Structures are given as C-alpha cells and as structure tokens.
Structure 1
C-alpha cells in the first residue's frame, strides 16, 4: 500500500533554463496545417491553449456532466471544472519534469471537448445510433471539433492547432489501434498524426493528470452525494492512510475539513508518485528528443506499480458504489432516452436544425452517412440542459 507523500519528497522542481531532451520545444514544432505568421509574444503552444479556452466547445463543458447530471447540484464536477483541474495537475507535473507546460496544459484542456451530453451513457447511446455510419468516439470527436466544427477564423475551419497539440488530443491515452474511429480516419487523410506511436511526454502527462483528477474528485463527489460513507472510503488503499494521518495531525476536526485535508493528501500522493516514477522511467529510456519518446514503444510517464495497484482497487470501488449506484443508473437510463430520441428526430427532419447546420446538410448532397455525421455532431455538442430543453420542446414531454 502506498503512503501519502509530502512536498519534500518531490525533490527539486526546475522552473528556469533550457528544456531537457524529452520535451517538445516550441521552436521545433512541426507547425500548423495552415501557415500563420507569429505576430505576438506568445509561443505556438501558448496560442493553442488560448484558442482552446476561447472555443465555444470549451465553454459548453460548463453544462456537461461527469457523473451527476448538471441540475443535480452546483457542487459536483462538470466537464469544465474537471478539465481545469486536469490542466492544473498537468502543469505541475510537466514543470517538475522539465517538460513543456503550455503543451501539457493545452492537451489537458482539450481532452474532454468531444464528450456528449450526459456523460458516458450519452456517448454509448450516440455510438449505437451511429454504428451503421462509423460509430462515435469522444477522442476522435475532439479532433473533429478543433479541426472542423469550430468556425471563428476567416482563413480556415477549426482552430488550426499545432501538430503536437493535435497529436496529444488524438492519442494521449496511447497509440490508436485499427480500425480507426471514422473521425480520426477522416483527419488522418489530411494530416498524419502518427497514430500508431505513443504521444509526446507532455500528452502522456495530460493523460495521467486526468486519472489523478477524477480518482480524487470522484471520491469527494461520491461522499458529498452520500453514495458511500467516510468509513467505507477509509477502507481503501491510499485513502485510508490519508484519513488516518489527518486524524492524528488534526484530532477533532469537523467532517468537511477532515475530508478536504485527507483528499488533498491523496491528490498529492498521486502527483508525487507520477513525478518520481516518470523521472526514473525517463532516465531508463533515455530519449534523446521528443520523437524518441514517441518511438520508445512504452510510455515514459506512468504511476509506480504499487500506486497503480492501489488505484485499481479505488476504481473498482467507485465503479460499483458510484458509477453503478442505483440512483445514478436510474437517472442515466432516463437521460439516455433523450439522446436516443433526439438523434432520429433531427435525422428525419433536418429542417429542425439551426440554419447554419442546414446549410452543411445541403452541402452533403443527399449523402446519408455524411448527414448522419452532421446530426451526430450537433447532438454531441449539446449541453445537458440544452438537450433536455430541446427534447421536451420536440416531444412535448418532461423528464419528470
């Protein structure tokens, strides 16, 4: 069982000086699909981060959920708050390892852009509905959003992000196996993101930062929702040690502060573990540059075996007690029906789509698959509240 680590266990944290060999260097970027003149004081990855933050798809994450529905409580995480937390973790880890913080942050902020309303159950429903048209995958959808669906620039569709940021969005979880999701296959014909290799170290940092963030905040949200008790959570590896330490250091602390203090230690232990383990892995692999990280055949950013084993126990607990809790399943089943009904309504009556979407449908010239993909784009981009409102308006029913 792992024990919470403290600040002194992290070792020196580099803040200045040249980036080490594994880092993606802004001055060595592979560039953008559409050439642009660098006319301000920002580097290329900083500009990517800023474009993601200002994208309409990023703003909509505010009303897309993680586990609980958007209207079930103001204190539960949304895709937006989760993405911000992931970005914070990614910057911390990237800085400690001497990697490019801006690239790690950009990938972290963009990693959930492709999610549908109502979390993974909404994605499952849309994937089934799109099965005859190539399916649906949220990572691939994120690429479609940042390369095509965002339309705020005069000279190109999408955000025209650098190759490194697009690569990180597409494969931060590792090489993408065949057959490729259709949205990735479509873009792969335009620009080769080398989908069979690992991503940069910065993108790998974003992926593990996602794990750190949701393992920590799902325990917190589950406790707040009373899906399990503090005593039950304290039986988990890592979590139990954190609560025990808080009880020793701060005896008699009220429940709210006790939970916050304990989970802060859990959070810190996961981050420290990634940093220390990844430092060792980078020394072992000894990549000479960012491309060597991609060709290494193994990830260079990882948890220790002991931490990974503990996290599997925590995930199994959360799966049973939170993600598959009867109250959560009941509501998810009801809202999944919203997606299942909205998609065929728009597919059969494309005149119900906003005018700009109707223009795109007409441009498909009767191609049923392309029309279905546009309808899928529209439904996938909805927030929870907008999907519920549109479903109620079009069906005349209320969720209840």
Structure 2
C-alpha cells in the first residue's frame, strides 16, 4: 500500500460515518494520477497554500481600511483563524480535517481589496453582480496558474462556494466553514475594534456576556463547544440559547462597529477607486495576457472584474495613483 492508501484506510477506520472520506471524492474536473503520499484533499490544501491568491490575502483588508499598526487582522490572518476553528470542530466530530482545512484556506481567495466595501463597489458595477464566494471558486477554477486553475476536488470547490449564505455545502466539513467563519470574524472584529478604540469590552451587553463570556477566549470556546455538542447526529448547529446570544452579538457589532463612522470613514473613498480602476481595465490592452483571453471568451467586463478583485489594498491604491494622480515634475525635465 502507498502512504496515501494507508491514510485512506485509516480514515475509513477512525472517522465518523458522517465524514467525507477522501477515497470517496467525486474527483476533479480534469482527472489526475493519484499522489502516492497525499490524499486528494491534502493535495488541494497544498495547492491553495502555494497559490498567488493565497499570498495576496496578507495585504487585503478585513474590517479596518489601511490601519496603522501591526496587529490588526488581514484577510490572511482571518483565513488562518477560520481554519483553526474549523479544524477544532472537525476533529472533535471525527470528520475529515484535511477537507475542512482546504475549504477554510480557500474560502476567501476571491475577496476584493478594501474588504466588503470593495465587494459592494464591484457588485454595483459589474453587470452580473459580484459575490466573493463565487469569485473564490472562479479563482481556483480559472484564474490561478495563469488561467489554468488549480483543478481542485468537487468537495473543496463546493465548500468554498457555499461558505457564506444561500445553499449549504454538501458535506459536513463544508458546513463547518460557515460556522467557523462567523465565529472567527465576530471575535476578531471585537478585538480589532477594541484596539482601534471604537469599542470597549464592557460595552458588550450583559445578556450576551452572561451566555458567551466576557473575553475573546471565553466567547470562542462557548461558540465552538455549542457547535460540537449539538452536531453529533449529522447536522452542524448550535443550541438555541447560544445561537440567540450569537445573533444578539452580531446585531450589536453591526451597530457599534460595522456602521461606526470612525471605523468606516475611509470606506466612502472606495467606490470611486474601484470604479475608476474597473473602467480603465475594461480595455483589454491594459490587462495581462491570460486576462485578455478571458476578455475574448467572457467579455471585457468579466476580465476587468477579475483583475480588480484580485488586487491587494496597497496595489489598488498605488495603481490608482499611477493612473489618475499627476506626478511631480520640474522644469529641468523638459
């Protein structure tokens, strides 16, 4: 037996009957020879970690645009926190940790610069609309590796597509990501808001802290415990009391942080930057070669959307400056 076959035999012996076994994957769009060492889901995880889009996440905003300081979350640190939470839940439920991790690491690859402000801006411009979870699948299918894509398994792609809203993932491992994503962003957004001075821990209503606890560690533990303790029968859910507290905390954050004028003061600049870049890159002559091919096949709007959505915050700002802000010059140059 190869190492992969030994791993797959161990999966069958030790995992929950509700787990997605790597040997039972629906496979890839383009069939490939199996790896001797790694299962298909392990290979997908590795492909995501090594792709360009994953590396760009370190320079994409989570909540606070262009924060000063080294300790604010980026889209990359958010992704790693989601992965950690998701793997904890998957391990406790004896589900497939490799599949869970692959979906977690790939779930935000299609996110725009400037966080959800960038997503809203692109959604208002692009004829077919823009949703980051769909773009994340597009990244792994069509945009990575100069247009060749990563050729991931069906289950990983399905988990990425279904991680936010709408239809649920077909595997429990994919369903875990939706909960892990919520648990992660809720708690690190509180942490960042406190660091930014727009929120204090005592500001959180007592009826919420009475259920979830009065610190980041206690909240994360309470939410994860609720998912684990209520998901042993082939569903992924929280108990009703914890879920109501979660919803109340989400509503509190929406009013206190996500709509906070100080925290969001830079966001009003985002639509103009995104629209200006999109309009410029609608000209295929301004695009890289692999995106020119997309412009020919799927239209210039799709290609421009792909390019702008893939930008980091810093690159988008520098690109805007280069294209639309006059450069300094002196008379000695002419």
TM over 0.5: yes
Given the alignment, which residue of 359, 369, 372 partners 2:301? Answer: 372
Aligned pair 1:217/2:188, yes or no?
yes
TM-score, normalised to structure 1's length? 0.75
- Provide Cα deviations, 1:247-272, integer angstroms capped at 9, x if missing partner: xxxxxxxxxxxxxxx21111111111
Aligned pair 1:351/2:291, yes or no?
no
Given the alignment, which residue of 74, 88, 92 partners 1:92? Answer: 88
Given the alignment, which residue of 94, 100, 106 partners 2:102? Answer: 106
Supply the distance in 2 between the matched residues of 1:28 and 1:76 (Cα, whole angstroms).
40
Higher relative contact order (CA 8 A, sep 6+): 1
- Following superposition of structure 1 onto structure 2, how do residues 41-56 of structure 1 map, counting pairs within 5 Å? 41-56=37-52
For the 8 Å contact 1:239–1:263, the answer to whether it is kept is no
Supply the distance in 2 between the matched residues of 1:242 and 1:359 (Cα, whole angstroms).
53
**Residue in structure 2 matched with residue 330 of structure 1 by the alignment:** 265
For the 8 Å contact 1:32–1:161, the answer to whether it is kept is yes
Gaps spanning 5+ residues in structure 2: where?
1-10, 328-334
- Provide Cα deviations, 1:182-240, integer angstroms capped at 9, x if missing partner: xxxxxxxxxxxxxxx64210001111111111111111111111112222136351378
Aligned-pair CA distance for 1:371: 1.1
- Following superposition of structure 1 onto structure 2, how do residues 290-301 of structure 1 map, counting pairs within 5 Å? 300-301=235-236
- Provide Cα deviations, 1:254-308, integer angstroms capped at 9, x if missing partner: xxxxxxxx211111111111100112x43xxxxxxxxxxxxxxxxx101111111
Aligned pair 1:387/2:279, yes or no?
no
Aligned-pair CA distance for 1:390: 0.3
Alignment: residue pair count = 317
Aligned pair 1:264/2:217, yes or no?
yes
Q: Secondary structure at the match of 1:238?
A: helix
Supply the distance in 2 between the matched residues of 1:115 and 1:93 (Cα, whole angstroms).
25
**Residue in structure 2 matched with residue 140 of structure 1 by the alignment:** 134
For the 8 Å contact 1:143–1:170, the answer to whether it is kept is yes
Q: Secondary structure at the match of 1:330?
A: coil
For the 8 Å contact 1:168–1:200, the answer to whether it is kept is yes
TM-score, normalised to structure 2's length? 0.89
Aligned-pair CA distance for 1:316: 1.1
Aligned-pair CA distance for 1:354: 3.2
For the 8 Å contact 1:96–1:275, the answer to whether it is kept is yes
RMSD: 2.1
Aligned-pair CA distance for 1:360: 4.3
**Residue in structure 2 matched with residue 233 of structure 1 by the alignment:** 204
Cα–Cα, structure 1 residues 387 and 82, in superposed 2: closer, same or farther, change >3 Å?
A: same
Aligned-pair CA distance for 1:18: 2.1
Q: Secondary structure at the match of 1:329?
A: coil
**Residue in structure 2 matched with residue 78 of structure 1 by the alignment:** 74
Q: Secondary structure at the match of 2:263?
A: helix
Supply the distance in 2 between the matched residues of 1:171 and 1:274 (Cα, whole angstroms).
18
Supply the distance in 2 between the matched residues of 1:230 and 1:397 (Cα, whole angstroms).
45
**Residue in structure 2 matched with residue 318 of structure 1 by the alignment:** 253
Aligned pair 1:202/2:173, yes or no?
yes
Aligned pair 1:29/2:17, yes or no?
no
Given the alignment, which residue of 162, 172, 179 partners 1:171? Answer: 162
Aligned-pair CA distance for 1:135: 1.2
Q: Secondary structure at the match of 2:208?
A: coil
Gaps spanning 5+ residues in structure 1: where?
1-14, 177-196, 244-261, 283-299
Cα–Cα, structure 1 residues 159 and 272, in superposed 2: closer, same or farther, change >3 Å?
A: same
**Residue in structure 2 matched with residue 342 of structure 1 by the alignment:** 277
For the 8 Å contact 1:121–1:332, the answer to whether it is kept is yes
For the 8 Å contact 2:212–2:222, the answer to whether it is kept is no
Aligned-pair CA distance for 1:359: 4.9
